[in-house]
A and B are shown apart, each in its own frame.
Chain A
Amino acid sequence: MKKILAFILVFAMLFGFAACGGSSEITTETIKERGVLRVGVKDSLIGMGYLNPETGEYEGLEIDIAREIAKELGVDIEFLVVTPTTRLQMIDSGDIDISLSNFTITEERKMSYHFSAPYYTDAVGVMVLKNSGISSLEDLNGKTVGVTMSSTSAQSLKEYLGEGYELTFDEFDDHASIKLALSSGAVQAHCVDTVVLSTYMDDTTVILEDRFAAQPFGVVSKLSNTELNAYVDALIEKWLSDGTIEAIREANGLLPSFEG
């Protein structure tokens, strides 16, 4: 009996923590008091979020937008590198205030997190080895495709190809692993947003011509931080309409937003 009670207690504690786990609301005021905006970014996507090993500086579209937001708030900025599987927890725990990390907006995801208007829209593409004999999406039938966890590209590819295609999807934690799997032959295709593919492109690989499924990227934050969310949303909307974001895009050498 004692043992059973102990178990129940442990579980009750677990859920207790979960219930009161969320830290208090982050507002523009708390950020100003702290004096620093904490932003979750990528460090390996050239043009989007990239830690340049030569200068030691972050650069890219997402970095520039984050810097603009910090400038508006009048605070310093701290970049924290996130992966698709860590950014959710870091937002929930309050370790980062917002994240600009190639995060595609979907209706399902909006149930769990807040998304701003899309600051950039990419499309999904497929990269294969040059000597693989794969020259179009149709050739992918029966092949294994590498995608990252937390990516919508698998779903998009399935939808784009429609019925009659047999594809296997292997999910990896990062794109470097997929590249390795592609080179070794563990997967035959690397399917993800084009900005990512261009980062991992080399002279053994080729990106197939078809691009599909618009991937709108938004600033992600915690649903309950309503005041901060409204503030960021307003900024993004403003910069979209006054051309600020368009100028940042050009400066970073990215293709225009995808319109499919």
Chain B
Amino acid sequence: MNSGIFALWRWEALWASRQEFIDAFFVTIKVSVFALALALFLGVVFGLFSSGNNKVLKGIARVYVEFFQNTPLVLQVLFMYYGLLYAGIGLSKEQIGVIGLGVYTGAYISEVVRTGITSIPYGQTEAALSQGFTHLQAMRYIILPQSVKIALPPLANQMVALIKNTSVLAMIAGGDLMYRSNAWASNGTLSYGPAYLLCGILFFCLCFPLTYFAKRYERKLKNQANNSEKEACA
């Protein structure tokens, strides 16, 4: 029999186990969605903290960002898995995935949000305040609409990174797509070729639309901005 790593009979074996991969794919999607929600929430909150004027909040945001940006995600997840068990706190692997990835990516997103806000010259805020806007209104109507355009591309990158990072769960037998591919590839007939290729294709299918739509949306916003500038000049 043909023993090539992509031999046809290997694909048949993969097809026979398709349910395992479908289940794992949904675990990855589920963890990604919840982790993304958590990361966006943390990112916006800490992003506002670090771009605001309150020194204490700024300090808290700095510690959070520096801690999670400067330690490896793998270590954080392993700590949550083994360390918390020793402490008697049992979390399910999916919970660890959501919290671990959410908190980690949140640190990056808060930096994206911070740079988005601080890249708008402070003069604009001053101008808005002098026209009678409250601080919140100035944020809502003047600063944030412009920040979104600046923040969107790096934000989409962070989302894609988060989805791909779900693969760290494979280290703690997390039942995610990477774990399932690894496990399937090293069992039975040892047909790792199709398993890893399928894993790559599925991740691509998740991530590519995200980058694609983010790019399109970014272009749309830029066009809008250009048009309104033209109108202003006319």
Interface residues of A (CB under 8 A from B): 14-15, 18-19, 21-22, 84-85, 88-89, 92, 108-109, 111-113, 146, 149-150, 170-173, 177, 180-181, 184-186, 222-224
Contact = CB atoms under 8 A, between A and B. Distances in A.
A150 B4 contact: no
Given A109-B189, A113-B190, A184-B82, A171 B3 contact: no
Given A149-B182, A150-B190, A180-B82, A111 B6 contact: no
9 contacts: A18-B5, A18-B6, A85-B185, A85-B186, A109-B190, A111-B9, A149-B186, A171-B182, A180-B82
A6 B172 CA distance: 37
A146 B189 CA distance: 21
Interface of B: 1, 3-6, 9, 81-82, 85-86, 171-173, 179, 182-183, 185-193, 197
Contacts of A184: 81-82, 85-86
Given A149-B182, A173-B171, A186 B82 contact: yes
Given A112-B191, A171-B173, A186-B81, A149 B4 contact: no
Contacts of A109: 188-190
A203 B166 CA distance: 36
A15 B201 CA distance: 14
The 6 lowest CB-CB distance pairs between A and B, nearest first, are A150-B186, A170-B173, A184-B85, A223-B3, A149-B186, A18-B6
B37 to A, nearest CB: 26
Nearest to B191: A112
Contact of B188 (A84, A108, A223): A108
Contacts of A180: 82
Contacts of A22: 4
Contacts of B85: 184-186
Nearest to B200: A14
Contacts of A173: 171, 182
A89 B192 contact: yes
A122 to B, nearest CB: 19
A88 B81 contact: no
B211 to A, nearest CB: 14
| Most chain A CB within a 10 A radius of its CB, from B1, B4, B179 | B4
Given A111-B189, A172-B173, 14 more contacts: A18-B4, A18-B6, A18-B193, A85-B185, A111-B3, A112-B3, A113-B190, A150-B190, A170-B173, A171-B173, A173-B182, A184-B81, A186-B85, A186-B172
Nearest to A113: B190
A180 B173 CA distance: 13
Given A15-B6, A180-B82, A88 B192 contact: yes
Contacts of B82: 180-181, 184, 186
Contact of A150 (B86, B171, B187, B191): B187
Contacts of B5: 18, 21, 92
Contacts of B189: 108-109, 111-112
Contacts of A181: 82
A85 to B, nearest CB: 5
A111 B173 CA distance: 27
Nearest to A223: B3
A57 B205 CA distance: 47
Contact of A171 (B4, B81, B183): B183
Contact of A149 (B1, B6, B9, B187): B187
B186 A84 contact: yes
Contacts of B173: 146, 170-172
A22 B4 CA distance: 8
Nearest to A114: B3
Nearest to A178: B173
